[in-house]
Structure 1
Amino acid sequence: MSRDEYEPERIALLEERRRDEAESEVPDYPSLESRYGPGTFGCHEGVHVTKLVVDLIEDKLVNHGSVILNPYWFYCVREAQQLLYAAYSAVGGEHLGAPRPGDAGLEKPTTQELEKMSTPTIQESPFPWPDEEKGYHLFPAAMESDSLVAFHGTARSNLAAIVAEGFKFTAKLQSLSFAKESSYALSHACARRSETSPEGCVIAVRFSAPIPRSNVAVETSDIHVYDLAEQPEVIGYCIVPADYVWR
């Protein structure tokens, strides 16, 4: 089927999703664009899952005995993989090029500033060099399991200003996303590393109860904030080394 033939199905699914959310009990439920558009955690999650599926096809299907015995099966597997990788590359590029909520106008902290950040209420967690065998959580179990604690992945260069001045919106995206598990924020922190800020950072925050509430939407894997008048409390951070490879 061509792309145009799939479009009516996409539009129908989108309209159904909008209708369902319009009936939500949460007042002023934020739009899909503000939660899943380029530059948001929701978009990052979708890009990440797409890459996982591309890798899964490579690991589990491309060399599978049944697949390499069947020319048509092998062709379909490779075609599916190529289409997904094309989507990953195109959407991923748009996502990483978008303004990142909370990251605007922030400068790299000095060593002295980082030392000052470790206070009785804001503690640095040493980087555990997570992998598939050990798991990808960065913080103590008590924090990871706390329903009011969430995590934000960013470049290390943004840490000092966030601690000092709080999170900020950009002009384009008036929302900010926090992952419920540090493993999701870790992938985002890795993606935000650059030549000017070679290290990443995962920031742990605690929300005041109750959540969800007006301007704070809770979804399966993340929390979206639409009003920063009440800032979540920064309670910890973990620096992601430049040479760590997230897989």
Structure 2
Amino acid sequence: MNLPEARAALASARRVAVLTGAGVSAESGIPTFRDAQTGHWARFRPEDLASPEAYRRDPETVWQWYAGRYADVSRAQPNEAHRLLAELERAKGAGFFLATQNVDGLHTRAGSERLVELHGNLTTARCEGCGIVTPLPAPDTFTPPPTCPVCAARMRPNIVWFGEYLPEDALEAATHAFQEADVALIVGTSGVVYPAAGLAFETRREGGVVIEVNPEETELTPYMDHSVRDVASKGLAALLGEEPA
């Protein structure tokens, strides 16, 4: 990797599209879905907790799982990687776009505004009747399942489960942004979950520069123009020419 070249490409880019994954939130102490399956939850398969079939079969157990994860992310704080991406958005203005696979809401709490959450958000629920999305009550007062404030129907976790499609408008917006990007940043994601992982190829096909930030090689590494081998906060700091806090 030529770090000065990568820095220069990012600095001069008018349009920057970013994809983030679990590696960005790891520094805030948020475990991945599977890493969170400890103790009582270790006996469940992922499909037992995160699929429409599981929810139809046992909504109480599914809601208990998500209520616990919601409490965990509510205690977590945005880290330097979140802050640096919010800073990059302010620098690029309308030319910036962020698509995240994370469901913790930390990008928004760090100040990011031009973003889509491809896999949903743990801090919200979606009505099974009318489809409205609303914030969950504070974790210490939350007793699942929530009831819709509009139609009084039961609400489900606002998460994309196994076997479900990504929100069409969010995926379309992300695809367009990556097609138009001069530089795409792929930060903290393994590159194995599609269609999100395919966004990098949208930029490549249109002749843009694609830069990966990840401490390890990923499925996408062979297709990257540059790869920064570090955790998200330090890798982004290096690209932006900043010292990490």
Report the TM-score when normalising by structure 2: 0.29
* Bigger relative contact order, structure 1 or 2 (CA pairs below 8 A, ≥6 apart): 2
Report the TM-score when normalising by structure 1: 0.29
